[in-house]
Protein backbone atom coordinates (compact mmCIF):
# COMPACT_ATOMS: atom_id res chain seq x y z
CA UNK A 1 0.00 0.00 0.00
CA UNK A 2 2.80 2.37 0.87
CA UNK A 3 4.50 1.51 -2.43
CA UNK A 4 1.29 2.28 -4.34
CA UNK A 5 1.10 5.68 -2.64
CA UNK A 6 4.71 6.55 -3.71
CA UNK A 7 4.03 5.49 -7.28
CA UNK A 8 0.85 7.61 -7.37
CA UNK A 9 2.73 10.57 -5.95
CA UNK A 10 5.49 10.22 -8.58
CA UNK A 11 2.92 10.00 -11.39
CA UNK A 12 1.20 13.18 -10.23
CA UNK A 13 4.54 14.93 -9.86
CA UNK A 14 5.76 14.06 -13.38
CA UNK A 15 2.47 14.69 -15.15
CA UNK A 16 2.23 18.17 -13.67
CA UNK A 17 5.62 19.26 -15.00
CA UNK A 18 5.59 21.43 -18.07
CA UNK A 19 8.49 22.42 -20.28
CA UNK A 20 8.92 26.19 -20.59
CA UNK A 21 10.89 26.00 -23.85
CA UNK A 22 9.06 25.86 -27.18
CA UNK A 23 9.23 22.61 -29.04
CA UNK A 24 10.79 22.90 -32.47
CA UNK A 25 9.90 20.03 -34.71
CA UNK A 26 12.38 18.39 -36.99
CA UNK A 27 10.31 19.67 -39.93
CA UNK A 28 10.78 23.29 -38.74
CA UNK A 29 14.52 22.73 -38.26
CA UNK A 30 14.82 21.31 -41.77
CA UNK A 31 12.82 24.21 -43.23
CA UNK A 32 15.07 26.79 -41.56
CA UNK A 33 18.14 24.86 -42.62
CA UNK A 34 16.91 24.67 -46.23
CA UNK A 35 16.22 28.43 -46.29
CA UNK A 36 19.71 29.23 -45.00
CA UNK A 37 21.25 26.75 -47.40
CA UNK A 38 19.26 28.23 -50.31
CA UNK A 39 20.36 31.77 -49.38
CA UNK A 40 24.00 30.66 -49.23
CA UNK A 41 23.71 29.01 -52.67
CA UNK A 42 22.09 32.14 -54.14
CA UNK A 43 24.74 34.43 -52.62
CA UNK A 44 27.49 32.15 -53.92
CA UNK A 45 25.92 32.19 -57.39
CA UNK A 46 25.67 36.00 -57.32
CA UNK A 47 29.36 36.23 -56.34
CA UNK A 48 30.27 33.89 -59.20
CA UNK A 49 28.23 35.94 -61.69
CA UNK A 50 29.88 39.20 -60.60
CA UNK A 51 33.32 37.56 -60.68
CA UNK A 52 32.67 36.23 -64.18
CA UNK A 53 31.54 39.64 -65.46
CA UNK A 54 34.55 41.29 -63.79
CA UNK A 55 36.94 39.06 -65.74
CA UNK A 56 35.83 40.99 -68.82
CA UNK A 57 36.96 44.41 -67.58
CA UNK A 58 38.91 46.01 -70.39
CA UNK A 59 37.23 44.03 -73.18
CA UNK A 60 36.30 46.45 -75.96
CA UNK A 61 32.77 47.47 -76.89
CA UNK A 62 31.32 45.75 -79.92
CA UNK A 63 27.81 46.39 -81.21
CA UNK A 64 25.76 43.17 -80.77
CA UNK A 65 28.83 41.56 -79.18
CA UNK A 66 28.43 38.58 -76.87
CA UNK A 67 31.99 37.25 -76.66
CA UNK A 68 35.39 38.22 -75.27
CA UNK A 69 36.20 39.75 -78.65
CA UNK A 70 33.71 42.48 -77.71
CA UNK A 71 30.48 43.09 -75.80
CA UNK A 72 27.65 45.52 -75.98
CA UNK A 73 25.93 46.19 -72.63
CA UNK A 74 23.13 43.64 -72.93
CA UNK A 75 25.50 41.14 -74.53
CA UNK A 76 27.71 41.23 -71.44
CA UNK A 77 24.71 40.62 -69.17
CA UNK A 78 23.22 37.97 -71.48
CA UNK A 79 26.53 36.07 -71.82
CA UNK A 80 27.45 36.29 -68.15
CA UNK A 81 24.13 34.93 -66.90
CA UNK A 82 24.14 32.29 -69.67
CA UNK A 83 27.38 30.87 -68.23
CA UNK A 84 25.30 29.88 -65.21
CA UNK A 85 22.35 28.52 -67.22
CA UNK A 86 20.21 31.57 -66.50
CA UNK A 87 18.36 32.53 -69.66
CA UNK A 88 17.78 36.24 -70.21
CA UNK A 89 16.48 38.07 -73.26
CA UNK A 90 19.14 39.54 -75.54
CA UNK A 91 18.28 43.27 -75.40
CA UNK A 92 18.38 45.64 -72.43
CA UNK A 93 14.74 46.70 -73.01
CA UNK A 94 13.62 43.07 -72.82
CA UNK A 95 15.95 42.30 -69.90
CA UNK A 96 14.23 45.12 -67.98
CA UNK A 97 10.97 43.16 -68.17
CA UNK A 98 12.57 40.10 -66.54
CA UNK A 99 12.74 39.31 -62.83
CA UNK A 100 11.32 41.47 -60.07
CA UNK A 101 10.99 45.15 -60.99
CA UNK A 102 12.34 47.22 -58.09
CA UNK A 103 11.65 50.50 -59.87
CA UNK A 104 13.97 53.30 -58.82
CA UNK A 105 14.15 52.08 -55.23
CA UNK A 106 17.92 52.26 -54.77
CA UNK A 107 17.63 51.23 -51.10
CA UNK A 108 16.55 47.79 -52.34
CA UNK A 109 19.54 47.33 -54.68
CA UNK A 110 21.71 44.28 -54.05
CA UNK A 111 24.77 42.75 -55.63
CA UNK A 112 23.70 40.78 -58.71
CA UNK A 113 20.68 42.96 -59.55
CA UNK A 114 20.43 44.52 -63.00
CA UNK A 115 20.48 48.30 -63.31
CA UNK A 116 18.93 50.02 -66.34
CA UNK A 117 19.30 53.40 -67.98
CA UNK A 118 17.64 55.55 -70.63
CA UNK A 119 20.61 57.23 -72.27
CA UNK A 120 20.88 59.76 -75.12
CA UNK A 121 17.50 61.32 -74.27
CA UNK A 122 15.70 58.12 -75.20
CA UNK A 123 12.27 57.32 -73.87
CA UNK A 124 12.93 53.59 -73.48
CA UNK A 125 15.58 51.60 -71.68
CA UNK A 126 18.67 51.13 -73.81
CA UNK A 127 21.51 50.39 -71.37
CA UNK A 128 22.09 47.76 -68.65
CA UNK A 129 24.70 46.77 -66.08
CA UNK A 130 25.14 44.29 -63.23
CA UNK A 131 25.20 45.71 -59.69
CA UNK A 132 28.45 44.79 -57.94
CA UNK A 133 28.01 46.91 -54.82
CA UNK A 134 25.16 48.88 -53.31
CA UNK A 135 24.69 51.13 -50.32
CA UNK A 136 22.22 53.90 -49.50
CA UNK A 137 23.94 56.55 -51.57
CA UNK A 138 25.70 54.75 -54.41
CA UNK A 139 25.38 51.77 -56.71
CA UNK A 140 28.48 50.47 -58.48
CA UNK A 141 27.88 48.37 -61.56
CA UNK A 142 29.78 46.61 -64.31
CA UNK A 143 28.73 47.26 -67.89
CA UNK A 144 30.02 47.75 -71.41
CA UNK A 145 30.20 51.40 -72.44
CA UNK A 146 30.50 52.40 -76.08
CA UNK A 147 33.58 54.52 -75.39
CA UNK A 148 35.54 52.44 -72.86
CA UNK A 149 34.29 48.86 -73.20
CA UNK A 150 33.68 46.80 -70.06
CA UNK A 151 34.17 49.02 -67.01
CA UNK A 152 32.84 49.67 -63.52
CA UNK A 153 30.78 52.83 -63.09
CA UNK A 154 28.74 54.46 -60.34
CA UNK A 155 25.39 56.16 -59.95
CA UNK A 156 27.34 59.00 -58.35
CA UNK A 157 28.57 59.89 -61.84
CA UNK A 158 26.23 62.57 -63.15
CA UNK A 159 25.65 60.82 -66.50
CA UNK A 160 24.37 57.65 -64.82
CA UNK A 161 22.62 59.52 -62.02
CA UNK A 162 20.61 61.48 -64.61
CA UNK A 163 19.79 58.53 -66.87
CA UNK A 164 19.00 55.89 -64.20
CA UNK A 165 15.67 54.22 -65.01
CA UNK A 166 15.15 51.01 -63.05
CA UNK A 167 16.49 48.10 -61.01
CA UNK A 168 15.49 44.46 -61.46
CA UNK A 169 16.22 41.42 -59.32
CA UNK A 170 16.91 38.27 -61.30
CA UNK A 171 18.01 36.03 -58.41
CA UNK A 172 15.86 35.97 -55.28
Catalytic residues: 73, 127, 143
Closest to 4 measured CA to CA, from 59, 120, 12, 163: 12
Torsion of CA 146, 148, 153, 157, to 10 degrees: -80
Residue 71 has, within 13 A of its CA and on its CB side, a CA count of 32
Whole-angstrom distance, CA of residue 55 vs CA of residue 58: 9
Whole-angstrom distance, CA of residue 14 vs CA of residue 7: 11
Whole-angstrom distance, CA of residue 149 vs CA of residue 119: 16
Q: Per residue, what are the HEC states of 83-141? A: CCCCCCCCCHHHHCCCCEEEECCHHHCCCCCEEEECCCCCCCCCEEEEEEEECCCCEEE
Amino acid sequence: MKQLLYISLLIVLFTSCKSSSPIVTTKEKISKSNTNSSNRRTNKLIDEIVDSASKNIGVKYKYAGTTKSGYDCSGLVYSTFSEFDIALPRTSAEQAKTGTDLGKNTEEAKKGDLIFFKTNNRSKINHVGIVIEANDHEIKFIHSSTSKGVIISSTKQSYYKNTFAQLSRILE
